[in-house]
Amino acid sequence: ALRASALVRGGAAPLSPREAVLVACVLNHPELLEREAETVAALDIADAGLDRLRRAILDIAAHEDALEAAELAERLEAGGFGELIARIDTVVRRGRDRFALGTSELRHILPLWRHIVALHRKSSTLNKELVEAERALAEDGSEASLARLKDIQEQLESLEGREALIDELGK
């Protein structure tokens, strides 16, 4: 396990595939911001690099009308995000979310993007609740706390199962 860690390998920590897809959609379809800017601004992105990139995209878009993907990428690369953008591209190409690459029309990706946002929000909420439930169980050791912890774990497993099913259908 230690040999597989980013510290030993010398590379960056792996990106969350879901977070990478969300950011890739905005990178490759900046017109998405015309409809979803508030959603993009409110995304809870755990990876600090992806979150900085999300904020940079929003900053650039706030000062530009009809921003094109190539222009956005150029400005972001000039701002030092080139390596991260390449990593995002690798994650998306390795996965089954090729719609995020920029070859699809916005009308085709919008429902998929919204679905991934909904899954991301649910997962983020459940993970926060899991931490709280673990703390409550450690503090009181009650059956109610244990039941709540198990319920949250089951919901997370169900959510992961739905994502896997969606991935399989997207092949």
Residue 70: the pLDDT is: 94
> What pLDDT band is residue 1 in, cutting at 50, 70 and 90?
very low
pLDDT, tens only, 116-131: 999 999 998 999 999 9
Of the listed ranges 1-10, 67-76, 145-154, the least confidently predicted one is 1-10
Write down all domains in the chain, each with its CATH number in brackets: 11-169 (1.10.860)
| In the predicted structure, residue 169 carries a pLDDT above the cut 80 | no
Residue 135: the pLDDT is: 94
CB 15 within 8 A of CB 47: yes
pLDDT over 70 percentage in the chain: 88
CB 171 within 8 A of CB 145: no
> What pLDDT band is residue 102 in, cutting at 50, 70 and 90?
confident
pLDDT, tens only, 36-87: 999 999 999 999 999 999 999 999 999 988 889 999 999 999 999 999 999 9
d(CA 9, CA 13): 10
- The average confidence (pLDDT) of the chain is 87
> What pLDDT band is residue 15 in, cutting at 50, 70 and 90?
very high
Of the candidates 26, 69, 72, which has an alpha carbon nearest to the alpha carbon of residue 45?
26
Residue 171: the pLDDT is: 45
Residue 25: the pLDDT is: 95
CA-atom Rg of the chain in angstroms: 18
Of the candidates 106, 76, 104, which has an alpha carbon nearest to the alpha carbon of residue 88?
76
Q: How many CB atoms lie within 10 A of CB 128?
A: 12
pTM of the model: 0.80
